[in-house]
Amino acid sequence: MSPSGAEFIKQAKSSVVEIDPSDVKPLLGNGVAIVDVREGDELTSGKLPGATAIPRGFLESRIEATVPDRTQKVVLYCASGVRSALAANTLVRDLGYEDVVSMTGGITLWKDRGYDVEVPFQFTPEQRQRYSRHFLLPEVGEEGQRKLLEAKVLLLGAGGLGSPTALYLAAAGVGTLGIVDDDTVDVSNLQRQVIHKTSTVGVAKVDSAEEAIHALNPDVNVVKYQTRLDASNIMQIIEGYDLIVDGVDNFPTRYLVNDACVLLGKVNIYGSIYRFEGQATVFDAKQGPCYRCLYAEPPSPGEVPSCAEGGVLGVLPGMIAMIQATEAIKVLTGIGKPLIGRFVRYDAMNMEFRELKLRKDPSCPICSANRTIHALIDYEQFCGLKRGESETASAEQLEISVQDYAALRDGGTEHLLLDVREPFELGICQIEGNTNIPLGQLPNRLGEIAAWKDKLVISQCKSGRRSMKALETLKKHGFTKVLNLEGGILAWGEEVDPAISAY
């Protein structure tokens, strides 16, 4: 080294405070920022426990993200103490940090004293290339990418929301993705469930999703659960995961997932979609409200149609899923401000986002101090999907099975088959001889079927929910002999007429 260089270093070191490794050791984990200013390849031999790595050449541009408070104590170190002294001089002189010290002798002296070192996660050359854009983000960097690679995320559903979420989390490098779904791929899924392909129609969704994930990122470990979540298995399934991404589409499972997450202390990244609208938030009962704080009581059965009944814009799940994937990455890496206590609603028709504040319910039965729920309950009964004996008998009197209806048709019994689906649905499949009046138009078009007030009317839709509501309308307006086709046209196709196309 030239005399001028040596003199420069001497002057720089004289203007900063140096501290012995023995004095640094008790500072670890006590609110002091420990920063390693060596180059990335030097870190393979280890670093001080809890230290943040910022190469000296990037210090000016990245230190603020790590130490935003310029009054916080900062300890810098390198291999021998020279670069850290120069870096300390820069922080104090040029960036206005008030309490910066350089560790004498660097990590070399630290190791000579026999102090512990933390061997960092080792990225393969392929990983360094694959995740290079994350490395360039100081908020993520190598430490954030390491957290993603070591993370375990459970996706509940491989459908509209689960599909794009799985792809983005796999691309981001989440090391383990669990997928829970008991369904198989159907042609009608492909309009929005982008993880599946025409070639995987009929294949289990968990298998189809695994194939797509490995094609995108072979390093991701996919754990498949081809089962339906219920109170008997959910605790065992979710307990090994860092966070849960909720993409389910029915209320009993949403309450089940919420309660299990609260009981196990898991973060629940929530999303839901319907027609042209979606919503998302992060439920973390340790820091904010849970799902029950938002929806204390479920809606009445059939009050809120499913996407299968009401439809959904194909691109909508992608928008909500990207919010869920973003929130998952933020929670896993510890960056940004998660959507805890904030509820985002998205209107695709008007391209509008609206944010609502959520507060913890002081009387919430599962997450409040005075909670009344300490274990999982019967969620179908809670959501009104299970009837008592008298209710069951009453419902059976109002419904006809597809087998009994087939026999009724074969026997020539006079009746009106009232299909209350939308006209476009008839273009997909229909039962011969029906009269079509969409449910929303039924009250104003009852005159068209007035001749059947005292004759047998069979109400039918896709799955039996809309037609049951139609039944209520008919009875209210004096129709005396009305029955609902149990399971709708889907059940008819499965059990009676295989030519009927499921959708």
SS3 annotation, 381-414: HHCCCCCCHHHHHHHHHHEECHHHHHHHHHCCCC
CATH number listed for the domain at residues 151-382? 3.40.50.720
Measure CA of the first residue to CA of the last residue in the chain; give whole Å: 76
Question: Is 429 among the residues known to form the active site?
Answer: no
| Closest-CA residue to 103 (of 87, 92, 116, 90) | 87
**Angle at alpha carbon of residue 250, lines to 248 and 254, rounded to 5°:** 65
Neighbours of 82 (CB within 10 A): 15
Cβ neighbours of residue 250 closer than 8 Å, sequence gap 6 or more: 306
Angle between helices 59-66 and 82-93 (to 10 degrees): 70
Give CATH 3.40.50.720 domain extents, the chain: 151-382
Return the closest-CA partner of residue 254 out of 227, 281, 229. 229
Asked if residues 346 and 278 have their Cβ atoms less than 8 Å apart, the reply is yes
Its pTM stands at 0.66
Residues of the chain with CATH 3.40.250.10: 3-120, 389-495
- Mark whether 364 is an active-site residue: no
Token output for 462: 């896709």
Q: Which is catalytic among the residues 307, 364, 383, 429?
A: 307
Q: Which of 78, 290, 293, 461 is catalytic?
A: 461
* pLDDT of the chain, 503 residues: tens digit per residue: 455 566 666 676 777 899 999 999 999 989 999 999 999 889 888 999 999 999 999 999 999 999 999 999 999 999 999 999 999 999 999 999 999 999 999 999 999 999 999 987 789 999 999 999 999 999 999 889 999 999 999 999 999 999 999 999 999 999 999 999 999 998 989 999 999 999 999 999 999 999 999 999 999 999 999 999 999 999 999 999 999 999 998 888 999 999 999 999 999 999 999 899 999 999 999 999 999 998 887 776 655 666 666 788 999 999 999 999 999 999 999 999 999 999 999 999 999 999 999 999 998 999 998 889 988 988 887 777 654 444 444 444 789 999 999 999 999 999 999 999 988 888 889 999 999 999 889 999 999 999 999 999 999 999 888 898 899 899 999 999 999 999 999 999 999 998 887 77
Q: In what order do the strands lie in the sheet with 152-156?
A: 221-225, 176-180, 152-156, 243-246, 267-274, 277-283, 342-347, 352-357
- Residue whose tokens read 């670069």: 83
From the options 2.50.20.10, 3.40.50.300, 3.40.250.10, 3.90.1150.10, give the CATH code of 3-120: 3.40.250.10
Residue type, 354: R
329 neighbors 246 (Cβ within 8 angstroms)? no
265: nearest Cα among 280, 236, 287: 287
CATH topology of domain 389-495: Oxidized Rhodanese; domain 1 (3.40.250)
